[in-house]
Amino acid sequence: MDNPKCGACGASMKRNGKTEAGAQRWRCKSCGASKTHRIDNSAKQLKAFLGWLMGKGSLKEQRCSKATFERRAQRFWSLWPLPDFAGEVHDVLFVDGIYISKRLVVLIACTKRHVVAWHLAESECSASWAALMAKVAPPTMVVTDGGSGFKKAAKAIWPDTSVQRCLVHVRRQVIRRTTMRPKLDCGRELLDLARALPKIKGADGAAKWLADYAEWCSKWERFLREFTLKDGRKQYVHERLRSARHSLNGLVRDRTLFTFAEMQESLGGVWDSTNNVIEGGVNAQIRLMLQHHRGLTTIRRAKAAFWWCYLHSEYKVGEAEMLKTMKTDEEVAGLFMLATNRSEHEDGAPDEHGTSLPEWSEMRMSGSKETGWF
């Protein structure tokens, strides 16, 4: 190792014994200033911590005692790997939420290659989705599982973005009402229509499906109107089938069922119709990571999901830069204090952070029912 330079005069320093702790002492040849020089291996320790977190090895497999590893990891658990707004416009984004607990969800937006943004919230309400969307430039098309909260947020934040409902989830919603073995012919035919949805690849298939669905609605209209009287009130006999029809009618009316086919006709190329990219490539991997590290507290499970998203983003930096730039629990607590005391945006835009400060040890959810936290 080259001799260090003196911080006072810039001259070269020489070895001058060691301290009681065993650290090398250096003395300036010119001005006589003395100092100790320690190698900062924090970045190396962070790399080891992330290797353990992203892997499936136990603490017993680390090259140090369990107590030593936990002491080193304590510093890194205080970091919050937050997304950076890059401003890049993507053709297609896939969005979904993965629940860390009953009242804690990480909303994620990704492309086929990278995770683009993530946001921590209590629920998949419109304000939470809006906070996620505010971190990303509006894409040409977004693929989603649906929900009234997302629909409202997309209309406000991404008004010019085309929305494609995941056809696999549409099929699941229908099957949830018809079951896999419906007893009635009406249910069997609707189940066949639902199963055909993910197999549609273009405009011709979409047009045929819409025609078949319209024929099904016409054929079974009178059948689905059948009702009985219970306690003097009308009750439909086939309520579950009516519910399935109602959900499909809404998608047809909103023109979100075959957006991908319209995009292929107008812009060319192949556009996605399912959320398999984020379901299998992101959510499943995060669940597997959390399964490998069972026993983490709620807040650490959330941070582990954040770390996975950050390490699979396009703009991640090296470990040394992470330690310099990432916010810690203390810094985030200060942001919450500012968020609590500030007034609402005049333009009605969603808050970037929530309206209350959670307790980091237990992550109690109190009063953060608007946008969430990050």
**Euclidean distance between CA atoms 33 and 4, whole angstroms:** 12
Q: What is the mean pLDDT of residues 337-360?
A: 46
Report the 10 Å Cβ neighbour count for 209: 19
Residue 337 has pLDDT above 70, yes or no: no
Nearest to 372 by CA among 278, 307, 312, 306: 306
Locus of tokens 């009635």: 184
Residue 66 has pLDDT above 90, yes or no: no
Task: State the SS3 of 188-237.
Answer: HHHHHHHHHHHHCCCHHHHHHHHHHHHHHHHHCHHHHCCEEEECCEEEEC
Q: What is the mean pLDDT of residues 211-236?
A: 94
Residue 309 has pLDDT above 70, yes or no: yes
**Euclidean distance between CA atoms 57 and 72, whole angstroms:** 17
What pairing do the DSSP bridges indicate for beta strands 92-101 and 141-144?
parallel
Quote the pLDDT of residue 110. Answer: 96
**Which is higher by pLDDT, 354 or 74?**
74
pLDDT in tens, 246-295: 999 999 999 999 999 999 999 999 999 999 999 999 999 999 999 999 99
Q: Which amino acid is residue 333, in one-letter code?
A: A
Report the 10 Å Cβ neighbour count for 337: 11
Describe the crossing of helices 167-178 and 239-254 by its angle, rounded to 10 degrees: 160
**Euclidean distance between CA atoms 136 and 109, whole angstroms:** 9
Both tokens assigned to 265: 């006709």
Quote the pLDDT of residue 1. Answer: 54
Instruction: Please check whether residue 190 is in contact with residue 216, taking contact to mean a CB–CB distance below 8 angstroms.
Output: yes
The whole-chain average pLDDT of the chain stands at 87
φ/ψ of residue 145, rounded to 5: -80, -15
What confidence tier does 370 reach under pLDDT thresholds 50, 70, 90? very low
Q: What is the mean pLDDT of residues 177-185?
A: 96
pLDDT in tens, 11-44: 888 888 888 777 888 889 889 888 887 777 889 9
**Euclidean distance between CA atoms 223 and 316, whole angstroms:** 57
Nearest to 145 by CA among 93, 201, 95: 95
**Which is higher by pLDDT, 356 or 24?**
24
CB-hemisphere CA count at 13 Å for 99?
Answer: 6
CB-hemisphere CA count at 13 Å for 255?
Answer: 6
Residue 81 has pLDDT above 50, yes or no: yes
Residue 357 has pLDDT above 60, yes or no: no
Quote the pLDDT of residue 8. Answer: 83
User: Which of the residue ranges 187-191, 201-205, 230-234 would you say has the lowest mean pLDDT?
Assistant: 230-234
Buried b / exposed e over 299-311, threshold 16 CB at 10 Å, is bbbbbbbbbbbbe
What confidence tier does 87 reach under pLDDT thresholds 50, 70, 90? confident
**Euclidean distance between CA atoms 223 and 209, whole angstroms:** 21
User: Which of the residue ranges 3-7, 87-91, 195-199, 221-225 would you say has the lowest mean pLDDT?
Assistant: 3-7
Any idea where the domains of the chain sit in the sequence?
A: 1-39, 92-108+118-274
Which DSSP symbol is given to 60?
G
pLDDT in tens, 136-150: 999 999 999 987 799
**Euclidean distance between CA atoms 88 and 97, whole angstroms:** 22
